[in-house]
Structure 1
Amino acid sequence: MTKLIAVTRLAAVTLGVVAIIATFADTATRATINPFNFFGFFTMQSNIIWLIVIAITGIVVLRGKKQTSLLLLARGCATAYMILVGVIYNALLAGQEGGVALEWANNVLHIILPIYAVLDWILFADRPPLAWKRLWVSLIYPMVWVVVVLIRGATDGWVPYPFFNPATGYGSVFAYVLAIAVLTVITAAVVWALSRLKLVKLEAKGDALRQVRR
């Protein structure tokens, strides 16, 4: 079962990598690619972060090794980011500019992998509860990303999503920044809570099995 979980994770990683490469190749046929723009989207970066983390997790599990506390924390954060990708895109950007032109790849990066990330976290409970005192770590990447986006928007004028466009007014922009920060904390808190809920269920199941064996 453990090997099957690891293989499933590596299959998801393969799908994600193929989707990103296909998107890059498709974009290159229509325009000259600026890598800072192509990889500047929250979707791309979050998917890459999650793919790297889940690939390492899959390899570690496949080799029968123990996941480190740092890797487990990274999994929790990456899962939260993937949930944000799915929620923000489907709530605000679906059908507008900001998606991936290649439809199947767009679905993989914005729908399929975010859903899989949640299911992986809930169903494959090979992790202990995440410490609440480390919840703040989940804010580091999104806030760094926002700062870079705001700097680029104010200098070279490039923004990854229309709601970050300075032309809409910085009041509106910072309202979205605050919303992203709050949504990140809420999403991460849900992920942190799920790490406890599943572990409790597993422990209860284990106790029941021990009683049956007696």
Structure 2
Amino acid sequence: MHRRWPLHDSATPVVAWRIVILLLAAFAEAWNIKNMLESGERASEHFAYFTVQSNLLVIVLMLWMLAVPEARRPAWFDHVRGAITAYVVLAGLVYAVLLAEPDEVWSWTIDFTNAAQHRFVPWMVGLDWLLVPTARRIRVARAGWWMAYPVAYLGCAWLRGGLVDGWFPYPFLDPGEHGGWAGLVWPTGQVLIAFLVGILVVASVGRLRYRPPVPSAGSSGPSAPPRRSASSLAASASSTSSSPTSNSSAP
């Protein structure tokens, strides 16, 4: 009989780890909101950043996993967990590769919210996905649907910047930074390809890390026949012996 993987959904270290993620993500965003109110930054701009949105999704995910037992979650929950994991991890990677200044990538002098939302939370959520198996086996082909949110985000950012107020959350979405809309094909395409590859990697890791449920010690297994009581066996024998054809002679 296989032993149950120790880092399961209700294990004490896993619960503690998720509480830390929840508190870190919530505190970082609360600090962000404080800075937003003091600096006069528009809320419509602050909450339009993909990093902020993905960290808010992490807060919802952690609350869900801590409050709702695994057995009571819907069948599609593992795909939601995988998608949010991919979003926040990729947000951290895109920041490090495309958006951070060269001296910021490995620096520890950056402010707390930047470090929390771009470094600590992404990698802590990534480790949670790596070490705590899903309840059901992930179908990698279905993970293509995880791209719906990044694509919708891209469309909304372009609609807002192009038709509403001219503001774009990131340079790789701003046509003014690349000589017009045609110049966005390469920088935006790079990010979309990175997201697609990253999503497939996260889904594949989830599928490989899946551990089927282990039967309980008192279970006789699905193929074992049910046991019959002594009284039922005696009744069966009595019924057989009293059958009109059981002791009849041949014609």
Q: TM-score range by the shorter chain?
A: 0.7 to 0.9
2:25 is equivalent to residue 16 of structure 1: yes
Q: CA deviation at 1:65?
A: 3.5
Q: Partner residue of 1:40?
A: 48
Q: Partner residue of 1:211?
A: none
For the 8 Å contact 1:53–1:71, the answer to whether it is kept is no
Q: CA deviation at 1:71?
A: 1.5
Which whole-Å CA distance do the structure 2 matches of 1:52 and 1:140 have between them? 19
**Mapping of residues 67-146 of structure 1, within 5 Å:** 67-95=73-101, 103-146=111-154
For the 8 Å contact 1:7–1:58, the answer to whether it is kept is no
* Paired AA for residue 32 in structure 2: T
Identity in percent: 24
Query: SS of the counterpart of 1:69?
Result: coil
Which whole-Å CA distance do the structure 2 matches of 1:152 and 1:162 have between them? 14
Which whole-Å CA distance do the structure 2 matches of 1:110 and 1:44 have between them? 10
TM-score (norm 2): 0.71
Which whole-Å CA distance do the structure 2 matches of 1:106 and 1:187 have between them? 22
Match of 2:206 among 187, 195, 199: 195
Which whole-Å CA distance do the structure 1 matches of 2:193 and 2:75 have between them? 25
For the 8 Å contact 2:92–2:119, the answer to whether it is kept is yes
Query: SS of the counterpart of 1:127?
Result: coil
Match of 2:194 among 175, 183, 204: 183
For the 8 Å contact 1:127–1:195, the answer to whether it is kept is no
Greater alpha carbon shift after TM alignment, 71-80 vs 4-13:
4-13
- 1:80-127 deviation line (CA, Å, top 9, x unaligned): 10121111001111138xxxxx71111000000110111000111143
Q: CA deviation at 1:3?
A: 4.3
2:182 is equivalent to residue 171 of structure 1: yes
Query: SS of the counterpart of 1:7?
Result: helix
* Paired AA for residue 82 in structure 1: V
Q: Which protein shows a greater Rg?
A: 2
Q: Partner residue of 2:106?
A: none
Q: CA deviation at 1:51?
A: 2.0
For the 8 Å contact 1:57–1:71, the answer to whether it is kept is no
Greater alpha carbon shift after TM alignment, 171-180 vs 48-57:
171-180
Q: Partner residue of 1:50?
A: 58
Q: Which runs of 5+ in 2 are unaligned?
A: 1-6, 103-109, 215-251
Greater alpha carbon shift after TM alignment, 43-52 vs 140-149:
43-52
For the 8 Å contact 1:43–1:109, the answer to whether it is kept is yes
Query: SS of the counterpart of 2:199?
Result: helix
* Paired AA for residue 91 in structure 2: V
- 1:102-161 deviation line (CA, Å, top 9, x unaligned): 711110000001101110001111432211231221111101100011112212110111
- 1:184-207 deviation line (CA, Å, top 9, x unaligned): 2211111111112212xx46xx7x
Which whole-Å CA distance do the structure 2 matches of 1:38 and 1:166 have between them? 20
Q: CA deviation at 1:11?
A: 2.3
- Root-mean-square deviation (Å): 2.4
* Paired AA for residue 159 in structure 1: F
